[in-house]
Structure 1
Amino acid sequence: MAELVYRPVVGAALTLFKALDLKIDTQGSENIPRTGGAVLVSNHISYLDFIFTGLAALPQKRLVRFMAKDSVFKHKVSGPLMRGMKHIPVDRTAGEHAYKHALESLRAGEIIGVFPEATISQSFTLKSFKTGAARLAQEAGVPLIPMALWGTQRVWTKGRPRNFKRSHIPVTIRVGEPLEAPADQYAGAITRRLRERVQELLEAAQRAYPVRPKDANDTWWVPAHLGGTAPTPAQVKEAG
């Protein structure tokens, strides 16, 4: 039933990306298992990250069910689509139901997509990771699949107008090898290793990115530590 909604939405997204002439470079999709449950974990720099994360699983013929804040499910446009694709709403004041839903889906052989930073990183660097992804993988007995996105912030991110012009923006996607989550290990330690893997993939994606800022007015999407004018994590925190 869900695929009656999910696949047309994927098709529409691919049509949009083709119209925008986005240059999508994906490597490592073979690390996503063709069968069985897994927790797919990505950095979060754009409102469209769930779409690009899902695209990474398509070569393996897998559909990803994402955990997303419940306000997205209440929107008059996105709500019916999110429910139809069987994504999982998360009420941040009472997340037990979402956790149980995700756990049942993993045990049923689904891939669950998680952004462990919880919100978009406005510095475009990795924030701290919550332990939920690791705990889900431990309890369900499935692997964690780390991945990283780069360039999606140039299409549509927090605090910036969306760029839905034919802009030829490159998007780089890197998927890493599975990380086991043994039940007898501390979830915090697994989460630290997971974050290190995502950081490595993010740096690889940044090195592979085929363009640099055109001029001094085009450095907003580059992190401060790489010479750009994106706010530092400290500045983002101070701004509240």
Structure 2
Amino acid sequence: MELVYPPVILAAKAMFKTLGLRINVQGAEHIPDRGGAVIACTHHSYLDFIFCGFGAQPAKRLVRFMAKKQVFDHRVSGPLMRGMRHIPVDRSAGKAAYEEAVRQLRRGEVVGVFPEATISRSFTVKELKSGTVRMAAEAGVPILPMAVWGTHRLWTKGRPRNLTKRGIAISIRVGSPFAADEDASLDTSTKQLRGRMQQLLDGIQADYPSKPADGEDPWWVPGHLGGTAPTPEEAAELDNRHREDD
């Protein structure tokens, strides 16, 4: 029985209403109504897990996220994370988290993963870790690429939180499921996943209903679309310089 997750979802929806967020979900029909699956989501904001999970709500699925162990150790977030049966990741000993994720997938759970591992400062898709493809292949479940856009305008790395501005648009798009090619290398399948995630992101960026106002710093728009966000190369340099946890 789920005692913690449903109230948390209701609280999140109340927050969405308070902020007047304009949330648009497309492609939720790709999420299976039963059975295991891995959701592989883009990562631009500290709040992405909330909206990635919201993207599975039309299918009435609860997503078990892999998240850093420190979140589980916190006196407030820890009990909630454990109550929602999310998966703690100790970066110094990641094997246990990987094995738990595979067990949950085999039990028919949907596991949420951010394969870039850290927030993308360039608002493009970074190189992916191969663990997402590996766990899906081992558990014998499909991978669902997902892109979320607009969440970084609320709270992202290197910018102050903005939880007072109302009416920000949040776009969530789920791609069609695919299976890692058993005859291909992990590297090949991971590149395929990255391509699918980038294609989804390109689509929702092109369709996004908001543009920077005249005179506004377009910091939240990627450089290749005319914004002032760091290029992928500049973002990598910033990450190397700061080495902060996400």
Q: TM-score range by the shorter chain?
A: over 0.9
Query: Distance between the aligned counterparts of 1:93 and 1:217, measured in 2?
Result: 42
Paired amino acid for 2:12: A
Query: Distance between the aligned counterparts of 2:181 and 2:116, measured in 1?
Result: 22
Alignment of 1:151-162 (within 5 A): 151-162=150-161
**What residue number does 2:48 align with?**
49
Q: Which moved more, 1:225-234 or 1:93-102?
A: 225-234
Q: TM-score, normalised on structure 2?
A: 0.94
SS at match of 1:25: strand
SS at match of 1:125: coil
Alignment of 1:225-240 (within 5 A): 225-239=224-238, 240=241
SS at match of 2:161: coil
**What residue number does 1:187 align with?**
186
SS at match of 2:3: helix
Q: Which moved more, 1:182-191 or 1:194-203?
A: 182-191
> Are 1:165 and 2:159 matched, yes or no?
no
- For structure 2, the residue ranges without an aligned partner over 5 or more in a row are 242-246
Query: Distance between the aligned counterparts of 1:31 and 1:171, measured in 2?
Result: 19
Paired amino acid for 2:91: R
Query: Distance between the aligned counterparts of 2:215 and 2:227, measured in 1?
Result: 9
Paired amino acid for 1:232: T
Query: Distance between the aligned counterparts of 1:13 and 1:155, measured in 2?
Result: 14
Q: Over aligned residues, Cα RMSD in angstroms?
A: 1.1
Contact 1:139 1:183 in 2 (8 A): no
**What residue number does 2:221 align with?**
222
Aligned-pair identity (%) = 59
TM-superposed deviation, 1:166: 4.4
How many residue pairs end up in the alignment? Answer: 239
**What residue number does 2:244 align with?**
none
**What residue number does 2:19 align with?**
20
**What residue number does 1:145 align with?**
144
SS at match of 1:212: coil
Q: TM-score, normalised on structure 1?
A: 0.97
TM-superposed deviation, 1:232: 1.3
Query: Distance between the aligned counterparts of 2:179 and 2:12, measured in 1?
Result: 32
Deviations 1:147-206 (A, max 9, x none): 101100001111111111142000011100001124343211111111101111001110
Contact 1:19 1:166 in 2 (8 A): no
Alignment of 1:38-117 (within 5 A): 38-117=37-116
**What residue number does 2:30 align with?**
31
**What residue number does 2:196 align with?**
197
